[in-house]
Chain A
Amino acid sequence: AQSVTQLDSQVPVFEEAPVELRCNYSSSVSVYLFWYVQYPNQGLQLLLKYLSGSTLVESINGFEAEFNKSQTSFHLRKPSVHISDTAEYFCAVSDQWGNDYKLSFGAGTTVTVRA
C-alpha cells in the first residue's frame, strides 16, 4: 500500500504571502496524486489532481502542484494567499487494488492565514 507524508502539520501565513505545503509519497510504478481541501465544518473537496502529462497542475483558485517523480513529491503552492484559504489540506495517492483504486491520505496540513 502507498504511504503519504505531509511534512508540515501547521502552516501559519500572512495574507498575500506565498505558501508551500509539502507532500511525499512512497514510490510506485504508476501513480495518481491528489490534493484535497477541507474548509471548517465541511467535507473534503478536490483541489487538483495529477494523472499524467504535464507535471504542473493548477486549480481554479490559484493553487498549483508539481509532480516530481525522482523525488516522489507533489508539493502544493500558492503565490499569494487569502484569508479564505484558511483550511486543512490533504495530499492523497491512489493505490491500486485489483482493477480498482482506493486513496491513501496524508495526516493533513492546517493552513491559517492571518491579516
Chain B
Amino acid sequence: DVKVTQSSRYLVKRTGEKVFLECVQDMDHENMFWYRQDPGLGLRLIYFSYDVKMKEKGDIPEGYSVSREKKERFSLILESASTNQTSMYLCASSSPDAGEGTEAFFGQGTRLTVV
C-alpha cells in the first residue's frame, strides 16, 4: 500500500516561530503536494513539487515555503508562524502517469495551532 507519512498529528507553536512540517512517501512518486484544510473552504493548494529541488506555488503560497531535497520527502516551512495559519495541513503524493488517473494519496494530516 502507498504510504504518506506526516511527522506530527498535532502541533502547537507560538506566533513568530519557524515551523517545519515533514512529509515522506514510499511509492517513489514524482509529485508531492501540500494543502491546508479549513472548514467551509475545502482543501487549498499551498505548494507542489513535480521533481526533486523543483517547486511551484499553488493557490495560497503567502507565508509558506517548501523544500524538496530528496524525492521521498517534501517539507512545508512556515517562516514566521501567525495565528491565521492555524489549520489542518495535508500532504499528498501522486504519479505523473495519467494512466494511473493522477490519484493523489494523502497523509493523516497535521493539525497545527499557532498561539
Binding site for B on A (CB under 8 A): 1, 4, 6, 9, 32, 34, 36, 42-46, 49, 51, 90, 94, 97-108
| B56 CB → nearest A CB, Å | 7
User: Which residues of A sit under 8 angstroms from B42, Cβ to Cβ?
Assistant: 4, 6, 90, 105-108
Interface centre among A4, A51, A98 (most CB of B within 10 A): A51
Task: With A99-B96, A101-B98, A102-B33 as known contacts, state yes or no: A49 contacts B108, CB within 8 Å.
Answer: no
Are B94 and A101 touching (Cβ within 8 A)? Answer: yes
State the majority secondary structure of interface residues on A: strand
Task: Check A100–B103 contact: CB distance below 8 A.
Answer: no
Please name the residue on chain A nearest to B4 by beta carbon. Answer: A43
Contacts of A106 in B (CB 8 A): 42
Question: Residues of B contacting A94 with CB < 8 Å?
Answer: 102
Q: Provide the bound-state CA to CA distance between A34 and B42, in Å.
A: 14
Evaluate contact between A32 and B45: CB separation under 8 angstroms: no
Do A45 and B106 form a contact, CB below 8 Å, given A102-B33, A102-B45, A106-B42? Answer: yes
Contact B94 A107 (CB under 8 A): no
Q: Per a CB cutoff under 8 Å, which of A42, A97, A101 touches B108?
A: A42
What is the distance, in angstroms, from A99's C-beta to the closest C-beta of chain B? 6
